[in-house]
Chains A and B, each alone.
Chain A
Amino acid sequence: MNSIATIENEIVNEFSLLDGDQEMTLYYLMELGQKLPALPEAARKEENEVKGCQSKVWLTARAEGNKMILEADSNTAITKGLVSLLVRVFSGQAPDDVLAAELTFMKRIGLDRFIGTQRSNGFAAMTKQIKFYALAFKTQLAGI
């Protein structure tokens, strides 16, 4: 498993091929979203919804050993692309690493400008939710 920083660099490199073209970037984002497996209907329930997103976003987390596994879905294509990036960065990482991470790839790609304030706030809400899960797992692991 690559480190969070390494995965972030990979993402930045991929997006840099699009030369900052907004339309191409959004299409690429949606393509990434399409590759993210859909959550089963049963998981698309209110308790898995991320609060603070304009679109609907569902996030689930489970522990595999000392790693955190994330799955996610959204009802809009662009947001699904965004959450797929978070899954890529954080899923399979140790809770401590997730908690310590300060993501920079959004800024480095310029995605925060492209997606606007509301979606940026939504992105922040998703990140926060993932960190909550990480904290919960950390506490759980410490308790065992």
Chain B
Amino acid sequence: MPSPQDVLASFARGLSDGSFLIGTAVSLRRIAVGYGISVVLGLGLGLAIGRFRLLEDTVGSLVFGLQTIPSICWLPFAILWFGLSERAIVFVVVMGALLSIVIATDDGVKNTPPLLVRAGRTMGMRGVGLYARVVLPSALPAIVSGMKLGWSFAWRSLMAGELLFVSAGLGQLLTVGRDLNDMSLVIAVMLLIVAVGLAVERLLFGTAERVIRRRWGFVGVRG
């Protein structure tokens, strides 16, 4: 095992020679694309499944079935479909995040208090307007936690995918460490993965969660 000083030195070296920055930038770009697609598709699909009975009976049960597949198991499928390309890794990321966002959104929609919907109707709202201004905001806490869960799934999927085959990115740096038999580099990269994952999560969800807690009055056990 390397000493903490060795790890720190590897970390500093990685930062100064630019390999950590490039790796982080590449991984972040991939996850931005993959997670972005997941959010758009997931919200759309989740809202639609929550709204239409037919979709729920068909696509809904399929989603729950697919959720049991670890996203990295989509890698062979993705490689056969897209070849060894960026698109394959993005696909794996999407499969990691998409389903949990779909399920959480669907849940949020279904758990909308019927009383709020009735109140909206007595204000003359119906159809899409009612859905957009009452059901969607009411589902927001569930949607945000689904997106947060999706984010951590996406990040894990990306690391697994990069580790296995794609060039550049943080996962690839881990492989380099292994190939060079450089344990301190491996640990330094793992620390970097934790740091980047946490930083982005705080950045994306910190404010949203604070706002939701403040408005809904979720204070947790300490309240």
Q: Are chains A and B native binding partners rather than an unrelated pairing?
A: no
Chain B residues close to A by CB (< 8 Å) = none
Chain A residues close to B by CB (< 8 Å) = none
